[in-house]
């Protein structure tokens, strides 16, 4: 009798056990959906930010190396005689002569090109076929290979600025004292290429067009003697 009684008590207890109602299940499904959407949005934001930071770090390395190379090339600008070494200069490009260490003369050009979607900095070097002094041959035009230095430029028309003064005689622009830009020099622009002494370059870089740009800049003073200045 005791065994039968125990069986029926257990059976009755099992019958009294209830499950989740449909409303409870719907509430759980809705909550899980909301939490999943929030997690997905957070994860997407983290991945996007991480990618942007990584791209910025990669760009930073490329930009700094390229600007150092540009400064070195401009400082060594020379034609090997009294000829003005600057071929042309605008706010988005510069071309000049600069010798290499093997005695050749190089025709070097830096410029910004691209479209509104993305702007690039390019470098082209055309090397003379002879060496150890002018007259140079093979550098009457830009025919050398083109190298892409970096991209994501956001100020394609204001990359280069030119001055008749040296850096110690240049001043920060008083009209822009709180600018995030690294270089806001105020100087006198040359009226003739023979008066050009200093080149100021500054690029605004942003891997994502909608993000705030980072500014990188450099100043290069020509070592070539400007006799007419």
Summarised one tens digit per residue, pLDDT across range 118-147 is 999 999 999 999 998 899 999 999 999 999
More confident residue, 126 or 208: 126
182 - beta bridge partners?
none
Does pLDDT of 17 surpass 90? no
Q: Tell me the backbone φ, ψ of residue 217, rounded to 5 degrees.
A: -145, 165
Asked whether the beta carbons of 52 and 211 are under 8 A apart, the reply is yes
**Residue (of 87, 111, 222) closest to 164 by Cα position:** 222
Tokens representing 172? Answer: 């920060």
- When pLDDT is cut at 50, 70 and 90, the band that residue 188 belongs to is confident
Cα separation, 104 vs 127, in Å, equals 7
Tokens representing 125? Answer: 């070097």
4 - beta bridge partners?
none
Rg of the Cα trace of the chain? 33
Peptide bond into 135 cis (omega under 30): yes
Tell me how many degrees the CA angle 113-119-123 measures, rounded to the nearest 5: 50
What pLDDT shows up at residue 227? 44
- Whether pTM > 0.75 for this model: the answer is no
Residue 128's CB is within 10 A of a number of other CB atoms, namely 21
């Amino acid at each position: 009798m005791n065994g039968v009684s125990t069986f029926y008590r257990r059976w009755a207890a099992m019958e009294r056990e209830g499950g989740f109602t449909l409303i409870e299940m719907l509430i759980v499904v809705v909550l899980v959906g909301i939490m999943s959407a929030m997690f997905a949005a957070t994860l997407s934001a983290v991945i996007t930010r991480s990618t942007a930071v990584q791209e910025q770090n990669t760009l930073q390395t490329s930009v700094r190396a390229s600007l150092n190379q540009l400064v070195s090339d401009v400082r060594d600008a020379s034609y090997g005689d009294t000829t003005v070494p600057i071929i042309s200069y605008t706010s988005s490009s510069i071309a000049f002569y600069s010798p290499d260490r093997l005695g050749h003369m190089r025709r070097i050009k830096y410029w910004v090109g691209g479209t509104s979607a993305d702007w690039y900095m390019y470098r082209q070097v055309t090397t003379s076929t002879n060496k150890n002094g002018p007259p140079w041959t093979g550098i009457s035009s830009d025919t050398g290979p083109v190298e892409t230095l970096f991209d994501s430029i956001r100020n394609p028309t204001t990359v280069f600025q030119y001055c008749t003064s040296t850096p110690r005689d240049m001043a920060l622009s008083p009209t822009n004292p709180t600018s995030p830009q690294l270089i806001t020099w105020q100087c006198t622009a040359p009226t003739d290429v023979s008066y050009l002494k200093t080149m100021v370059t500054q690029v605004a870089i942003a891997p994502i067009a909608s993000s705030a740009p980072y500014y990188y800049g450099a100043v290069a003073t020509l070592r070539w003697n400007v006799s007419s200045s």
